[in-house]
Each structure stands twice: as structure tokens, then as C-alpha cells.
């Protein structure tokens, strides 16, 4: 097998197209990757090892083949941005109808202060971001110290179709060596979508066609807005949303049918935990905690 060295953060490299072993050398964290190419050649299964002093992390990820095979550009298996180390992981589902919201993610690591000095910590994983999902860029989810992710706990909920399920954008900051959701930032981040939903829900029967636009229906507006208010603990706004929802969702329904719609919606909203993070990508032992000291 051929070997090569890849130095992150802007240092030029030479990458053989068929390289199977990649040593990623970066101070203070050493990143080593072993590549296994799928028979179709469209994806690469990669075992990544992170080494910092006496700590050693190991995780298995997938990346698109063009990330590695384009000799004219530097492949971005991993990289640094604003003091955070990102490692790309792609679920490799091409069908948009079944592709998870958080298909392309970045595992995030950082050096944090501990009692015995600086330690490398796994902060979790975040959605790679629309600008990064199809291109080998690093850290699109991070802007001015805030990580943007997708709350995907309701993505496949049994009481709401996938098209109606609310996909809230969450805003997180690092606190005490972990990513923590900032509820105020999250509330503000979703205001454009929330305001559009409020206009739809508050519209009269004659105005609804002009106010419920860009794929927003009264049902979608109610589920998204109620989920956001629940997730960010906005009780006053949640009461207003529910009052508007009865008229918007039930104006052409019998009382029994209306009650059933609202009951099912309430059960779904009851599954929301304010400040809860998205579902973590399943990792082998050692990915989130050092496997050696």
C-alpha cells in the first residue's frame, strides 16, 4: 500500500488516487486514516484514529469517493476551524425521500482544560450544513462560536408524516467541554419560519391561500411553531399558537375529527424535551472517549 502525509489547515500535499492508507499529521493532534473503497467506487469506508499525547480515539466513518479522487484539490477528511477539529461522516443515502436530515455530519473534537492539563474531548456530532454537504469543506455548522444543528427527534414520528415533521434548527455553544443548546439563540434562529407559520395560522378562510405559501400548510405551520415554542419554553406563544390552530385546522372538520387532530399533535409535542440535542450518530467504542491513555 502507498503511504502519504496530509497536513491539515492549508499545507500543500500530493495525493495518489489509489492510496489506501493516509496518515494525517497535525500538531497538536495526529490524525491517521485507513481507507477501504467500496466495490462501486462511490464511497470510502474509513477508520480514523486521533492521537493527542497519551490519548487515542478511533472511529469509523464514510466519505464520498470524489473527496479523495480529485487530484486537483486537497481532500478534506478532517480539518480545523476556530479551535475545533471536524471529522466528516456521510451516511451515503442518495434517495432524498429516505435520506436522513442529518445524513452528512461532522464529528467535533476540541482541546479542553482538565485537572491534569489539556485533554482532547469529543463534543458530539453536528449537521455538516447545506454549504458543506456536497462539497469537501470544513466547519460550515460553526459561525462565531455557535454551532447550528437540526433537531431530528421528530423526523420519523408515527403521528406525523415525514413531510410535516418539524425540523427545528438548534444553536449550540461549547460549555464545560460539551455542546449545549442555547434556547434563546435557537428561538431567534427559527424566527423567519415561525413568522411565516403564524401568518398562515392567523389567516381567515379567504386569505389562507395567499398567506400559506412556499409549502407551508396550516398543519405544518402548527406543528413547526408549536414544536419550536415547546422546545424553547415559550409558553405565551404556545398558547397563542394553539388558539389559532383550532380555527385553522378544524374549520372544515367535525368536533370529533378536530379533537383527534389536536390530540395526536399533542402526543407528538409531548415527546419534545426542551434543549435536547439531535440523535448522535452511532459510533464504535472509543470514538467518544479515549481508548488508551
Ramachandran quadrant class, 215 (left: phi over 0; alpha: psi -120 to 50; beta: rest): left
Q: Record the pTM.
A: 0.83
DSSP character at residue 91? -
Say yes or no to pLDDT of 11 above 50.
no
User: In this structure, are residues 62 and 103 in contact, taking their beta carbons and an 8 Å threshold?
Assistant: no
C-alpha to C-alpha distances, 255 to 204, 206, 249, 251, 259, nearest whole angstrom = 19, 22, 11, 9, 6
C-alpha to C-alpha distances, 69 to 17, 43, 157, 186, nearest whole angstrom = 5, 11, 38, 38
pLDDT of residue 287: 66
- What is the SS3 assignment for 127? strand
Percent of the chain with pLDDT over 90: 42
- What is the SS3 assignment for 32? strand
Average pLDDT estimate for 165-178: 93
pLDDT of residue 68: 53
pLDDT of residue 206: 87
C-alpha to C-alpha distances, 146 to 47, 88, 143, 170, nearest whole angstrom = 28, 18, 5, 10
Say yes or no to pLDDT of 149 above 90.
yes
Say yes or no to pLDDT of 187 above 60.
yes
pLDDT digits (tens, 9 = 90+) for 72-82: 344 567 889 99
Ramachandran quadrant class, 176 (left: phi over 0; alpha: psi -120 to 50; beta: rest): left
pLDDT of residue 136: 66
Type and span of the H or E element at 76: none
pLDDT of residue 6: 30
User: In this structure, are residues 55 and 293 in contact, taking their beta carbons and an 8 Å threshold?
Assistant: yes
User: In this structure, are residues 271 and 157 in contact, taking their beta carbons and an 8 Å threshold?
Assistant: yes
User: In this structure, are residues 56 and 75 in contact, taking their beta carbons and an 8 Å threshold?
Assistant: no
pLDDT digits (tens, 9 = 90+) for 17-67: 444 566 665 779 998 888 776 555 566 788 889 999 999 999 888 887 665
pLDDT of residue 190: 98
Cα–Cα distance between 201 and 203 in angstroms, integer? 6
Average per-residue pLDDT for the chain: 81
Average pLDDT estimate for 167-171: 97
Amino acid at each position: 500500500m502507498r503511504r502519504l502525509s496530509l497536513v491539515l489547515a492549508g499545507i500543500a500535499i500530493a495525493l495518489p488516487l489509489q492510496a489506501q492508507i493516509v496518515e494525517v499529521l497535525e500538531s497538536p493532534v495526529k490524525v491517521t486514516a485507513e481507507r477501504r473503497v467500496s466495490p462501486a467506487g462511490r464511497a470510502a469506508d474509513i477508520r480514523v484514529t486521533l492521537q493527542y499525547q497519551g490519548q487515542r480515539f478511533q472511529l469509523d466513518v464514510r466519505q464520498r469517493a470524489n473527496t479523495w479522487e480529485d487530484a486537483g484539490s486537497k481532500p478534506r477528511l478532517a480539518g480545523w476551524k476556530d479551535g475545533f477539529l471536524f471529522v466528516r461522516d456521510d451516511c451515503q443515502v442518495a434517495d432524498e425521500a429516505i435520506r436522513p436530515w442529518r445524513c452528512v455530519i461532522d464529528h467535533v473534537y476540541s482541546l479542553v482544560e482538565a485537572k491534569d492539563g489539556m485533554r482532547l474531548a469529543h463534543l458530539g456530532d453536528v449537521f455538516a450544513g447545506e454549504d458543506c454537504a456536497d462539497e469537501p469543506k470544513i466547519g460550515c455548522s460553526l459561525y462565531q462560536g455557535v454551532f447550528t444543528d437540526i433537531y431530528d427527534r421528530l423526523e420519523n414520528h408515527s403521528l406525523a408524516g415525514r413531510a410535516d415533521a418539524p425540523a427545528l434548527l438548534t444553536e449550540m455553544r461549547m460549555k464545560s467541554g460539551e455542546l449545549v443548546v442555547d434556547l434563546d439563540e435557537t428561538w431567534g434562529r427559527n424566527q423567519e419560519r415561525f413568522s411565516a407559520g403564524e401568518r398562515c395560522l392567523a389567516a381567515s378562510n379567504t386569505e389562507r391561500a395567499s398567506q400559506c405559501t412556499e409549502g407551508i400548510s396550516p398543519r405544518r405551520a402548527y406543528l413547526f411553531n408549536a414544536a419550536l415554542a415547546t422546545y424553547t419554553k415559550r409558553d405565551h406563544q404556545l398558547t397563542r399558537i394553539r388558539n389559532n390552530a383550532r380555527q385553522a385546522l378544524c374549520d372544515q372538520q367535525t368536533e370529533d375529527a378536530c379533537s383527534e387532530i389536536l390530540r395526536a399533535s399533542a402526543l407528538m409535542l409531548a415527546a419534545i424535551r426542551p434543549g435536547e440535542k439531535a440523535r448522535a450518530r452511532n459510533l464504535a467504542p472509543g470514538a467518544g472517549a479515549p481508548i488508551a491513555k
